[in-house]
Structure 1
Amino acid sequence: MDQLDLVVPVREQPTNQQLRYALRSWQACLPHRRVWIVGYKPAWVGGVGHIPTQQTGTKYANTTAAVRAACEHPDVSEVFLYANDDMFVMEPIDEMPVLHRGPVREVEARYAARASDAYLRGMQETRDLLLALGYADPLCYELHVPLPVSKNGMLLALGTGSHLSVLHKRTAYGVLNEIGGERINDVKVMHRQPRFDRSTPFLSTMPDSFANGEVGRVIRSRFPSPSDYEYRGR
């Protein structure tokens, strides 16, 4: 299979150390053809494709606009890896597998224990949309790992859910295109403590857990050398 491009929506912030180490991890461990930064490109980033976008909406609207821009760009590979700047691949893999989080109803039950917020409402609205379209028990693809997506398939998902204020893009894409995949637990580490699953080849962090937690120390020690995506001295 030809190597896929990596598409990464990036919000406006000048340093973004998570992105720096994500790029290092992808170069070392995740086969890909080209990296595309969509949105804001920090000054230290080089050797990537850049698709500027306006970021004047919510973070959900901004990432939707970024994904659409990537799908509509002629130079981005027809199938690409959709990643975020806080996703790290810790061990070399031959290609990115398709992964999901289990049924939406199970994931929603865990989130419902927290205070209601836009993310949970988006999960519920996306679930209801998929149920109305005949998907009786849709899977959740809202994992903090890269997801292989096709341009046409993602544009279908974005169009189908365009009326939702917070569309869960990964889930809509995965269910509408019936991509299946393997179930895993989410790999996001939200705390500073040393207890987290180190057996998975994938990790993701919050800004605080990356900067001040054990998971951030592990990631930084694993990838100490600059990647080809960094201008030296920045």
Structure 2
Amino acid sequence: MREGAVNEALRYALRSWAAHLPHGRVWLVGHRPRWAVGVEHIPTVQAGTKYKNTTAAVEAACQHPEVSQTFLLANDDMFVMHPLPDGMPVLHRGTVRTVETYYVARASGAYLRGMRETRDLLEQHAITNPLSYELHVPMPVDKLGMLAALDLGWHLDVLHKRTAYGNLAGLGGEEIRDVKILHRAPQGYGPASPFLSTMPDSFGMGHIGQFIRRAFPTPSPYERPGSR
């Protein structure tokens, strides 16, 4: 989790998981807000880029002896909006090459470079036309499989670790569009959306943040009573 004093997005993500996502213990890796209770905590040093920090966090979770062999990997701004009685499905975004085309038309920089380098790495290991698992939804993970993926891509500055793991583990899964809502305007989602994710601005100031807060008004067991 990112360093910060409050992290309201995490508060509501936990509410959504408590309500809709079957799970056991919750582990926060990185920063733990003061209001968070009933959770396990793995502190990490967040001194690198955001990509290096998140890779270190995933590695720490996979190496911790008390974290279950299989677990759900989720960011602090991933919301499950409807019940999942059968548990979290495996989801992907289509092929990396298709996703790459989307980003080439809109952006450049480290993220796109990491996408290409991760794709090339997988193709060098006989995985042709790999799938992208860089969705803003929880992802089922096996510790040993993820550690193998991190080891394979250790030399990349921006390893797309979900994609590396998903392809090396042969997860397959169902294709969906990404659920990240970038802007304040009320577009790109609706009451039927099973998963949502936000940016700090869209959660704090946008219609999507209001939508999520209205959906989960009741504190979860992971909040200290009366805390803000």
Smaller-chain TM-score range?
A: over 0.9
Aligned partner of 1:130 among 122, 125, 130: 122
List alignment gaps of at least 5 residues for structure 2.
none
Structure 1 CA distance, aligned partners of 2:59 and 2:91?
Answer: 22
Aligned partner of 1:96 among 71, 78, 88: 88
Aligned partner of 1:58 among 49, 63, 79: 49
The match for 1:231 is 224
> Within 5 A, what are the aligned runs for 1:188-227?
188-198=180-190, 199-227=192-220
Name the SS for the 1:148 alignment partner: strand
Q: How far has the Cα of 1:107 moved from its partner?
A: 0.2
Aligned partner of 1:179 among 155, 168, 171: 171
The match for 1:151 is 143
Structure 2 CA distance, aligned partners of 1:174 and 1:127?
Answer: 12
Supply the RMSD in Å over aligned alpha carbons.
0.8
Runs (4+) of structure 1 exceeding 4 A deviation are none
Structure 2 CA distance, aligned partners of 1:77 and 1:188?
Answer: 28
Cα-to-partner distance string for 1:194-215 (whole Å, 9 max, x where unaligned)? 1222222100001111111111
List alignment gaps of at least 5 residues for structure 1.
1-9
Percent identity of paired positions between Structure 1 and Structure 2: 64
Name the SS for the 1:108 alignment partner: helix
> Normalized against structure 2, the TM-score is what?
0.97
Aligned partner of 1:27 among 12, 18, 27: 18
Answering whether residue 2 of structure 2 is matched by residue 11 of structure 1, we say yes
Number of corresponding residues: 225
One-letter amino acid of the structure 1 residue matched with residue 125 of structure 2: L
